[in-house]
Structure formats: C-alpha cells, structure tokens
Structure 1
Amino acid sequence: MSDNYVALLGTKGGPSIRPGSSMPTSNLFVLNGQKIVVDCALGVTRGLVDQGMNLKELSTIFISHLHSDHYLELGPLIHTAWCSGLTTMIDVYGPAGLQDYWDGFAASMKADIDLRIEDDGRDDLRDFVRVHVIDEGVVLERGGLTVSAIRTEHPPLIDSFAFSFRTAKHHAVFSGDTAPIHALEDFARGADLLIHEAMLESALPSLLERVGNGSDKLMQHWLRSHSFAHDAAKTATAAGVKRLALSHLIPSDDPSYGPQDWQNAVADYWDGPLIVGSDGVRIDL
C-alpha cells in the first residue's frame, strides 16, 4: 500500500442519519507524511481511529463550508484528541465563522475543560487551536505540500471551497459541495484523483418524501447547489484526471439504488477508473 492516500471517512450528503445510511462528509488526506482532515461531520473521530490514526497526531484540519454535515463534529474531534493526549497546536483552515463556532464550543464545554485542567493536570485546550480564515489561492505550503482553494457554486453560501492537495509526485482534489463549474476543470487539471460530490437524479423525488420535513425549497437547493453524477463525470473528463471518486452521495441510504446505478449514471461521460464512495474506503495515490 502507498504511504500517500485519501480515506473517505464519511460519504453521505446531508446532515440526517437514518437506518442503513452512511455518515456525512469527512476525509483524511495523507501526503508527504502529513495527515490532513478535510471536513468534520458526525463520525469523523471514529473514522480517523478506524484508519489507525492516533488522535494525538491531529494537527491540521480544513473545513470546506459552514453546513453542519461538514463541521458539526469539529469541536468534539478536537476535544477528544485533547482527552487522548494531544499537547500540540491544531491549525483549522476554513471560512469566516469558524472562530465563532470554536469559541462557542469551548464556552459550552467550559465546565469540563476547566475540570480536566484541574483534575487531570492537562494544559488548556483553548490554547491549542488556531483558526485561519481562508480565501481563494494558496492556503498552505509546508513540507513539500501545497494546498490551494477556489470558491465553489453552493448558494446561498459564498464562502464554500474546493481544495487541491499537491506534492511533487501526487495531486488530489476535493470538490466540496458545488453545482457544476468550469473553474473546477482547470483546478483539477491532470489530477491523480478527483473526489466529487454526486446526486442520482432519478432518486431525488423519493428522497424528498423520505426526508419528511423538507419542502420544494429543499429540492430547489439540491438542483441549484449540487451536481448530478453525470456532471461530476463531465468535469473529470474535461479536467483529464486519472481517477474519479464519487462522494457526498445523495442519496446514500436508498436500498433501491446501489453502486451499479452510480456507474450507469457516469457511463456516458467517464470511461476511467471510478470509485463509488463508501465509508472507510482508502484510495492509494
């Protein structure tokens, strides 16, 4: 197995959890010996441990945008890493608003944090977190790894980002949540791996009915703010990427649909290697 890989920890689109569903979006990128968590939905902590990661190693986190299925477990992940022996700084990169989230989480856990400082002799968790507000362009350069960002089309949010992770030997791109955009084609040009969100068009009406508390507004959000699987395939082909992985799957928990349906959805537009995302799958680079 390669020492450079991406693990899809959670591959479901949307915040709800139902019987049979996978977990919402989170990922682990490992490049040049660096471990970077990308998005922190429910289940990210368990997903990292299942990949064999010692939570004390947690150091770098990227959040693509402020929808709950991408950052709900950010605070609990950091807190659990602290309880697991973390004594080093964590850098969190993402949109404006993350600092408010972190400050609110830390305030909500003040009683526990203070108690563990006094009772366990731990250093103050609140001293270990740095939040960096990002924009388009190069976000991080470190140890032969360059991380860049572009804005995606994910209304009503403006600060919603795709990320490129590039070393001298490898290039992996994460689309984040987005409607189809030409900018992603150039951003992912020639990448070893494009991880792209995907919806199954025929499955949306029944999903809306199962959600129950949605309305036609939810359907309109899907249609204007996300990509069908065939859109992801078109982007991958236009970008000339080597492999395409579908994630943030909508739906991920309908027993009427399976991997073959996703393969069929891209077949007219993509003839390269395809990974239909499932929780815990590791993709070597």
Structure 2
Amino acid sequence: MAQVTILGAKGGPAVRKDGAMPTALLVQMGGVQIVVDCGLGVTRGLVQAGFDLRGLSQIVITHLHSDHVLELGPLIHTAWTTGLKTPLHIWGPPGLRAYWDGFMASMAFDCNLRVADEGRPPLGDLVQLHFLEEGAFDIGPVAAQALRVLHPPVLDCFALRLDAGGKSLCLSADTAHFPPLADLAHSADVLLHEAMLPQGVEAIIAKTGMGDQLRAHLANSHSTAAQAAQIATQAGVGHLVFYHIIPADDPAFGLPDWQAAIAGHWNGPFTLAHDGLTIEF
C-alpha cells in the first residue's frame, strides 16, 4: 500500500482563520516517507498525521516560492531538537543552498549552544543537499523523475513522479497549463495537480489588496481546474486530486464549483484536497 497525506492544501502564502495551510505533502511508498514541500504549518501537520519527527529522512522542495519552502528550516530544526540524529536528504533547486546557509546562519547561536550544552550532533553534519535537474534519480528505493514545468518567473520549478512497489504518484508542483506533464503522469495511480477557479481570482485580489500584477501572475503561472482535468485525461491516470487550490479558504466556493469546472474534461475519480486528508493508492 502507498499513500499521500495532504498537510497543506492551499495555494499561496497567506493564512486565514479556519482556512487551509500552504503547500506540504507526506508521501509514504516503498517503505520510505517523503515530505514534499514545506509551506507554513508543515511541522504541525506532520505531527498531527502521527509522523515521528525523529524519522525525518527525505524532503523534496519543488521550487523556492515561500508557500513551498518557508518552514523547511524550522521543520528540520524542530526534528533535530526532538531527537533526530540520522542523515537527512533534501532535494531541491540550486537556490536551496542559499536558503539553507541563511537559515543556519540565523540559528547559529541556538545550534552551537545545543551542541555544546545538550550534546546534540551538529545539525549541519546531518543535512545533505541534492540539487534537482530534469531526469531520473532515486530517493532510497523510490524511483523518481523530475520535470521542469512552466511557472514564470520561476525558472526552476519541478513536477515529480514517484514509483515504488508497482505504485505511482505524480504531482504537478506549480505550473501553467503544460502538456508535457501528461507524459510524466502517464498511467499514474494518482495525479495531484494544482488547480485554480477563475471565478475565484477576483475575490483573492480583493482580499490581498493587490491588482493587475497579481491577476497576471495567476493567469500566466497557474492552471485552471479545466486545464488540470485535461492533463489527467490525456495521461490516463487512475485518480485526479486537486491540491495547491486557489481559492482554498473562500466559503463562496465549494466542491460543486470544482466539479462543475472539470465536467466534460475528466470523468474518473476526483478528490478536492483538504488539510489532513490521506489518499491510499
């Protein structure tokens, strides 16, 4: 059995009362637990899902927007103070090095003190960074493939396919409509695809106080629900799941709106993600 738990279902960095948290996933397959993206709230989400932070060993960051990387350092530091003593592998874009060095510099006082005062292994010695490129790589026994997707102005944003034990999962990361993604997702058991309701965009613009630039970014860098459904159909996947949902915390939009948006584009199993949801495949 394999499964993916949605730790954060929303797209974008803002958090609101009783709303979903930014993007984070826990994938369990092939006997390995992989955290994919570390938006705000990932640590609490993992603990709530029953994950032992001392066992944190594999993290993948799809790109460096804050709603995917903001809590990476705090997650690792919290795991370390919880008792993590074993190597931790982090996969991500080349800019990950600057993020990690900056985080370690910001926490130097605390980290050095805990090593000297509490006898912990140096945190920097546990962490190994691996930089994503397009193509195949292995995460332990899990065969992984990375595909650079279309998310301007970010150049290094990667969709992922994970295969192990006859099970397959593909996740889009953040992307505008990108037909090559259908090839990556071909016959996958589950496709997690970001999705946006066009009719919800103006509500987001109003809430954030932003204007034409945010509107243009959303239009140029993200997929509508209909476009995501088309990718799922072209790929012939078994189950379509929308995550990185835009909007995710507006009570004016619910499941019927998403179902209506994909009607005529996808007729297979469909799930709209929410925080804490676990999907087995």
TM-score range (shorter-chain normalised) is over 0.9
Q: Distance in 1 between matches of 2:238 and 2:265?
A: 14
Q: Give the aligned partner of residue 36 of structure 2.
A: 38
- In structure 2, what residue type is equivalent to 1:191? A
- 1:206 equivalenced with 2:203 (yes/no): yes
Q: Distance in 1 between matches of 2:16 and 2:208?
A: 10
Preserved CA contact (<8 Å) 2:58 2:139: no
Q: Per-residue CA shift, 1:153-196, capped at 9, x if unaligned?
A: 00011100000001241010010000111110100000000000
Q: Distance in 1 between matches of 2:205 and 2:34?
A: 34
Q: Distance in 2 between matches of 1:169 and 1:264?
A: 33
- In structure 2, what residue type is equivalent to 1:276? L
Q: Distance in 1 between matches of 2:263 and 2:75?
A: 38
Q: Give the aligned partner of residue 127 of structure 1.
A: 125
Q: Distance in 1 between matches of 2:8 and 2:270?
A: 17
Q: Give the aligned partner of residue 7 of structure 2.
A: 9
State how many pairs are aligned: 281
Q: Match of 1:176, SS? A: coil
Q: Give the aligned partner of residue 256 of structure 1.
A: 252
CA RMSD of aligned residues (A): 0.9
- In structure 2, what residue type is equivalent to 1:114? N
Q: Per-residue CA shift, 1:7-32, capped at 9, x if unaligned?
A: 11101000011223200000011001
Q: Per-residue CA shift, 1:61-92, capped at 9, x if unaligned?
A: 00000100000000000000000100011111
Q: Distance in 2 between matches of 1:207 and 1:79?
A: 33
Q: Give the aligned partner of residue 22 of structure 2.
A: 24
Q: Match of 1:157, SS? A: coil
Q: Which one of 175, 183, 186 corresponds to residue 186 of structure 1?
A: 183
Q: Distance in 1 between matches of 2:67 and 2:212?
A: 20
Q: Distance in 2 between matches of 1:44 and 1:117?
A: 25
Q: Give the aligned partner of residue 162 of structure 2.
A: 165
Q: Distance in 1 between matches of 2:121 and 2:231?
A: 47
- In structure 2, what residue type is equivalent to 1:220? A
- In structure 1, what residue type is equivalent to 2:203? S
- In structure 2, what residue type is equivalent to 1:119? D
Q: Distance in 1 between matches of 2:180 and 2:34?
A: 24
* Alpha-carbon distance, 1:134 to partner: 1.1
* Alpha-carbon distance, 1:139 to partner: 2.4
- 1:142 equivalenced with 2:140 (yes/no): yes
Q: Match of 1:194, SS? A: strand
- In structure 1, what residue type is equivalent to 2:256? Q
- 1:99 equivalenced with 2:113 (yes/no): no
- 1:63 equivalenced with 2:64 (yes/no): no
Q: Distance in 2 between matches of 1:139 and 1:51?
A: 27
TM-score, reference length from structure 1: 0.97
Greater shift, 14-23 or 232-241, is seen at: 14-23
Q: Match of 1:13, SS? A: coil
* Alpha-carbon distance, 1:270 to partner: 0.7
Q: Give the aligned partner of residue 174 of structure 1.
A: 171
Q: Distance in 2 between matches of 1:22 and 1:168?
A: 32
Gaps of 5+ in 2: none
Q: Distance in 1 between matches of 2:136 and 2:267?
A: 31
Gaps of 5+ in 1: none
Q: Match of 2:170, SS? A: strand
Q: Which one of 210, 218, 221 corresponds to residue 214 of structure 2?
A: 218
Q: Match of 1:242, SS? A: coil
Q: Which one of 231, 239, 251 corresponds to residue 243 of structure 1?
A: 239
Q: Distance in 2 between matches of 1:36 and 1:89?
A: 14
Q: Which one of 71, 74, 84 corresponds to residue 72 of structure 2?
A: 74
Q: How does 1:101-120 map to 2 (within 5 A)?
A: 101-120=99-118
* Alpha-carbon distance, 1:141 to partner: 5.0
Q: Distance in 2 between matches of 1:270 and 1:24?
A: 26
